[in-house]
Structure 1
Amino acid sequence: MTGHALPDAETVEAVLASHEGAWEAGTKVLSVRDLSPGLGQAAVLGVSAAAPDGRRSGWIVKIPGWGHRSLLDSRDSQLDRREAHFFSSGIPALLPPGLAVPQDATVVGHRGLDWIVMRDLGPVLGRPWTPAAATTTALRAALLYVPGARDPGLLDVPWLEREGHAAYTHHIPAGHDNLDALAHEPRLKALFTHEQVHALHTCLDAATELTSRAATLPTTLVHGDLTPRNAGLDADHTLVLIDWEHVGVGPVGFDLGTFVSLYRTFGGHGELDEPALLETYGRALGDLAGADSRHAAAVGFATVHLTWGLHLRLGPGLTAVRQGLHSDNPGELARHLDDIRSGCLRALAWASVAGVAAGH
């Protein structure tokens, strides 16, 4: 952490009172809860407030840059400022019907830090994820193509993340080391077969090739971290997205790849038919782009599985296990290992689509 306590109710109330926003003048902050994610580099506060006439409202206050560096070790120099740039820009207004950001999102400054204040979307984000909801998400994710199509210059702004699918390549050496160590650790040696370990090494070594190939694909505005944890479908089936600190430009298929890769990790129920979801996304994207985009979307989707997905699981994912994370909770450890195994094997299934010869 930053070395000082999280803002209390009195501080939050004073900050709101000193700035204009959708909250009413004289709003009283009743309570503040720490909702900061364990791996995040931001403070996230749940704020309960009351207007002068007694009407209650719920808000989220996010303070980028407040948190600590985690095993994910993002080396993105713009991470602490990008989401504030996003909400201060015209991009949210360009999102088409079917996509939404938190209501009344406002960026205010306090003691040199950006505070992002927005309506609490708890009920929307708390809805269960099912394969049917994932299909709707595939359709809605294609809509991120629209802002760039309407305003091509939009994708040139310097603060947008680029090559987000390759953002964790610095974990590749740790991934190789962790794979080599499996054979010597009794509780881990059965995680993958010898052939699978060889194939995973091959995929890790293909990062430069994959990045070069991804650079030839059509691009789109990407959320950059589209997972079930950062998304929800409202009553009208609008896809509402939070946590825009990785918003950027990437290959088509990127966001669907991240969503599918971490679907079960973040609470999704049921098995996903990945080819069917990709077909849904590709057809929707083609309708928007006016050209058959299914092959390009498949390559982008597969690339994210083999970079973003593998680098996180074989790097910090396996490192956390080897360092004893979850060792006191066998059930949690088993779920973590199952995610590493299943996620890596699903990635291998897409290797040939991404152009990597990783026979296993």
Structure 2
Amino acid sequence: MTDRGLPDAETIEAVLASHEGAWGAGLRVLSVRDLSPGLGQAAVLGVSAACPPDGRPARWIVKIPGWGHRSLLDSRDSQLARREAHFFGSDIPGLLPRGLATPPDATLVSHDGLAWIVMRDIGTALQRPWTPAAATTTALRTALLYVPGASRPDLLDTPWLERAGYAAYAHHIPAGHDNLDALADDPRLKALFTREQVHALHTCLDAAAELNSRAATLPTTLVHGDLTPRNAGLDADDALVLIDWEHVGIGPVGFDLGTLVSLYRAFGGHGELDEPALLQSYGQAVSDLADTDLRPSAALGFATVHLTWGLHLRLGPGLTAVRQGLHGKTPGDVAPHLDDIRSGCLRALSWASAAGVDAAGH
């Protein structure tokens, strides 16, 4: 982790004054808040500013990728610190169809050898409650990510786009096996899964190479790569507004819906989701866009994300954090994290047969 201090109001004001952008000349920074996420590798600052010519207040976000934060996620993606800046510097945002959006006025500036992404604060959209109805709308909007690659096939060859994101955390598989083996000897955790469930989870972890190989053969689409309720919101027109594009890439159809559903409850969603119904809505929508039946492929991509991305995160860094006391030591502190690990893993197991994994050992 770096010792670099976060930019203060004076520095931000000077940097923006030296670059052209929608903030205009003469902007005055009134206050700065550190909004950096606990697991992110970027500095994220909320900036309140008085903007010319009338000095009316405006809210901006300044994001500085690659700030140096590290976490148990231990991303081994060499492009992670640069990909979002590449994205906003490319023509991809302009290719997103109606119904999809990025934060308005996103602009790249450079300071002290680092790229800064400056954009309007879209907190209003991000703070709308997540409900099953919102998830259904999001499933339909997510299908629209198929459009840029269909209209510009060369786009899918862009070298900095992430590929095989479902395998991004496969390096946590050994830790996942170790954590599962340790449950029986931990009084706090031994009731987390039954013996049969532990066996099934080991089986799914061992199936990663097979799952990845199968996913690599599926029809592809542009993917956000980290589509969760924390990184998405519906605006007043029900357009899906997406932030945090560090994992933007190429992936199998169904990928983004799988990440949304996997972390829906953990990241603020209310109510129970009907996963098959959401998948049906997405699969039909993306099939209509492609003018071919992609529903079986979308189902396999969706199930694969549950069993790779979802399991690897929960059984690796997720359980490690609990065992190391990083979420606190009282039952109340740990309970929501254990609830997500248990419910997320069991929902993943429910899709094992759809992904071609015999988790029951038949």
TM range (shorter): over 0.9
Root mean square deviation, CA, Å: 0.8
1:312-352 CA-partner distances (Å, limit 9, x unpaired): 00000000011012234532310000000000000000001
The answer for the alignment partner of 2:189 in structure 1 is: 188
The answer for the alignment partner of 2:123 in structure 1 is: 122
In structure 2, C-alpha distance between the alignment counterparts of 1:60 and 1:113, rounded to whole Å: 16
How far did 1:63 drift?
0.2
SS in 2 for 1:173: helix
The answer for the alignment partner of 2:327 in structure 1 is: 326
The answer for the alignment partner of 2:24 in structure 1 is: 24
1:285-311 CA-partner distances (Å, limit 9, x unpaired): 010000111100000000000000000
The answer for the alignment partner of 1:42 in structure 2 is: 42
1:26-62 CA-partner distances (Å, limit 9, x unpaired): 0000010000001111000000000232111100000
Query: More deviation in 190-199 or 47-56?
Result: 47-56
1:91 aligns with 2:92: yes
In structure 2, C-alpha distance between the alignment counterparts of 1:68 and 1:284, rounded to whole Å: 38
- What are the equivalent positions in structure 2 for 1:15-164 lying under 5 Å apart? 15-52=15-52, 53-164=54-165
In structure 2, C-alpha distance between the alignment counterparts of 1:27 and 1:332, rounded to whole Å: 43
1:309 aligns with 2:306: no
In structure 2, C-alpha distance between the alignment counterparts of 1:71 and 1:326, rounded to whole Å: 12
1:123-165 CA-partner distances (Å, limit 9, x unpaired): 1101100000000000000000000000000010100000001
In structure 2, C-alpha distance between the alignment counterparts of 1:33 and 1:11, rounded to whole Å: 14
Which amino acid is the alignment partner of residue 42 of structure 2?
Answer: A
In structure 2, C-alpha distance between the alignment counterparts of 1:325 and 1:110, rounded to whole Å: 34
SS in 2 for 1:288: helix
In structure 2, C-alpha distance between the alignment counterparts of 1:284 and 1:311, rounded to whole Å: 29
In structure 1, C-alpha distance between the alignment counterparts of 2:216 and 2:23, rounded to whole Å: 43
Which amino acid is the alignment partner of residue 29 of structure 1?
Answer: V
SS in 1 for 2:354: coil
1:255-311 CA-partner distances (Å, limit 9, x unpaired): 000000000000000000000000000000010000111100000000000000000
In structure 2, C-alpha distance between the alignment counterparts of 1:217 and 1:300, rounded to whole Å: 7
The gaps in structure 2 that reach 5 residues or longer are: none
Which amino acid is the alignment partner of residue 240 of structure 1?
Answer: V
In structure 2, C-alpha distance between the alignment counterparts of 1:321 and 1:217, rounded to whole Å: 35
Which amino acid is the alignment partner of residue 14 of structure 2?
Answer: A
SS in 2 for 1:45: strand
The answer for the alignment partner of 1:244 in structure 2 is: 245
TM-score normalized by the length of structure 2: 0.98
SS in 1 for 2:246: coil
Identity %: 82
The answer for the alignment partner of 1:255 in structure 2 is: 256
SS in 2 for 1:117: strand
In structure 1, C-alpha distance between the alignment counterparts of 2:327 and 2:285, rounded to whole Å: 41
TM-score normalized by the length of structure 1: 0.99
> Is residue 139–residue 281 contact of structure 1 (8 Å, CA) maintained in 2?
yes
SS in 2 for 1:190: coil
How far did 1:84 drift?
0.3
In structure 1, C-alpha distance between the alignment counterparts of 2:248 and 2:3, rounded to whole Å: 28
Aligned length: 360
SS in 2 for 1:353: helix
How far did 1:67 drift?
3.4
The gaps in structure 1 that reach 5 residues or longer are: none
SS in 1 for 2:355: coil
Which amino acid is the alignment partner of residue 267 of structure 1?
Answer: G
In structure 2, C-alpha distance between the alignment counterparts of 1:244 and 1:329, rounded to whole Å: 35
1:62-82 CA-partner distances (Å, limit 9, x unpaired): 000113110000000000000
How far did 1:5 drift?
1.2
> Is residue 42–residue 66 contact of structure 1 (8 Å, CA) maintained in 2?
yes
> Is residue 148–residue 220 contact of structure 1 (8 Å, CA) maintained in 2?
yes
Which amino acid is the alignment partner of residue 192 of structure 1?
Answer: F
SS in 2 for 1:33: strand
In structure 1, C-alpha distance between the alignment counterparts of 2:169 and 2:162, rounded to whole Å: 13
In structure 2, C-alpha distance between the alignment counterparts of 1:329 and 1:228, rounded to whole Å: 27
